[in-house]
Amino acid sequence: MDEDARPAELQALGTEECYRLLATQQIGRLGVNAENYPLIFPVNYALDGQVIVMRMDAGTKLAAADHANVTFEVDVIDQRTRSGWSVLVRGLAEEVTSGHRAQLIERTKASGVEPWAPGEHGRWVRLIPHAVTGRRIVPGRLPPAFGPGAYL
């Protein structure tokens, strides 16, 4: 390897930076406890401020997520440079139903998220964050042209 090698570096990301990164992506992974496992489902999403809005059908995933502690993970990782970032949101998931305030229902739908997977995904779910953490692996051993900005 390069004689001028720098080691890779792990940086913690602030909350603001985490949300800025979340806004750049459309697919994340929902973590819910169900069937004795911490299940992970890829899902597309949109942001309503700091709330993550998703669509899903009325199956196991929604039943397990509704009013439960869930997580939502988003990452962008470059296998070539072995660098990238990941953000993990911990929060409470809640299905938006007709019992909610009209204003909340409107805001949720205005996020514009549409289900990609075929089938019924009529239910709207909001993930209200309790905490957001993130980290970035800054590549070592690479010239400045492949600096941390390259994988945004």
48-56, 86-94, 96-104, 105-113 -> range binding a second copy (CB under 8 A): 86-94
The H or E element that residue 16 is part of is helix 15-22
Q: Which is nearer to a second copy, 80 or 101 (CB)?
A: 80
Specify which residues 95 forms β-bridges with.
Answer: 125
Q: For residue 95, report the phi and psi dihedrals to the nearest 5 degrees.
A: -75, 140
46-54, 99-107, 115-123, 143-151 -> range binding a second copy (CB under 8 A): 115-123
Q: Which is nearer to a second copy, 33 or 107 (CB)?
A: 33
Q: Which of 5, 12, 58, 77 binds a second copy (CB under 8 A)?
A: 77
Q: Does 42 bind a second copy (CB under 8 A)?
A: yes
CA distance 18 to 87: 6
Q: Report the nearest approach of a second copy to the CB of residue 27 (Å).
A: 5
Task: State which of positions 45-64 bind a second copy (CB under 8 A).
Answer: none
CA distance 100 to 84: 38
DSSP class per residue in 75-132: EEEETTTTEEEEEEEEEEEEEE-TTS-HHHHHHHHHT-----SSS---EEEEEEEEEE
| Interface ranges with a second copy (CB under 8 A) | 7-10, 26-27, 29, 31-33, 36-42, 69-71, 73, 75, 77, 79, 82-83, 86, 88, 90, 116-119, 137, 140
